[in-house]
Amino acid sequence: MKQQDTTAVPVPSSNSSNTGSGTSPQGEPDPLSKPAEFVLTPASPGSATKAPAEKKRSSRLSEDKRFKIFSGSANRPLTEEVCKFLGVPVGETRLQRFSDGETHFQLLENVRGVDVFLVQPTCRPVDQNLVELLIMMDALRRASAGRITVVVPYYGYARQDRKDRPRVAITSKLVADLLTTAGANRALFVDLHAAQIQGFFNIPVDHLFASPVLVGYFRDLNLPDLTVVSPDAGGVERARFFAKKLEVPLAIVDKRRTDINITEVMNVIGDVDGRTCLILDDIVDTAGTLVKTAEALLEQGATKVYACASHAVLSGPAVERIKDSALEELVVTNTIPLSEEALNVAKIKVLSIAGLLGRAIESIHMETSVSTLFN
């Protein structure tokens, strides 16, 4: 007599919610964490065992169970804005610190097979936020997340991208290796200090620019006789793109860096006499270069000076310098959360990039083109 084929079928539990952690949120043993029981049932005659059909991603992210966004502690308000834009909740986690400063992180949701986006800028305190990001990624990887995309609105250590003097580290490359080793499958950045940092990664990298948000703001201002100014030779390409979008001329400031956070303005290349100048940079740190550039432009005959930057680091005396400077306004984005002192300065205006990040995250998840956001 011919033996009948059989197929293993799991018997569903009375409660199907299983986080796979083996313990309940209260720390008690979870009886549902034991392996599922199997029984043998006859297979249909002449049929072969088929792989389960691939689940299609929902066109509405709020209904997509295979899509989640988690946040670190560095800039949770930005993550909440992104999630509000996409119509999804922020993933539930527990982040604690021991008395000696160690970070303890726990996921409170099941992420097995989920397309996860983890938002965490590595801003001040840089080392703490970086280690926190690595710990969160390790937890996601060990929880069997389907794909981990690390969303870093501000990439700390980006300025240490080459050996500019003997016996120094290329820390930007080191951070790239750490992120990859910790479990990142993909990375999303905003306005890297140097675009070639993308080459430090052996995983797919999407590099966004905050210029669509900033260009829209200054286009609405409609400043008269506007000239876009690059504060150094390294930012010329960024400033040229900005000037092209606004259809205005470009000027360049020749500066020399004498030490860390110390620069000297040498010359202004281009005609700024009688014009409104807009200084464009990617980072405002101590604001020393920014203030000196504004002074040099005014000495060359500029009528008014505005400034904009993607990342408002604003360390040391930056806020006081901006407050006392000749700048009309400094426009920044919320890649980095501003201090209370900075928020109280009338000259500093903050624009949100939550919509830009949200659209990029949606495109990555739905596997559509991200390049349309550059327009």
Residue (of 131, 120, 187, 184) closest to 154 by Cα position: 120
Per DSSP, the residues of 340-372 read: HHHHT-TTEEEE--HHHHHHHHHHHHHT--SGG
Ranges of beta strands (E only) in the chain are 6-10, 38-42, 67-71, 93-97, 103-107, 115-119, 147-152, 186-190, 205-208, 226-230, 250-259, 262-269, 276-284, 304-312, 329-333, 348-351
- Which residues face 187 on adjacent strands? 150, 205
- Which residues face 280 on adjacent strands? 308
Tokens coding 342: 């900075």
Active-site residue identified among 255, 292, 347, 349: 255
In the block, residue with structure tokens 């390409």: 237
For residue 274, count other CB atoms closer than 10 A to its CB.
10
- Which residues face 307 on adjacent strands? 279, 330
Catalytic (active site) residue 255: yes
**Annotated catalytic sites, by residue?**
255
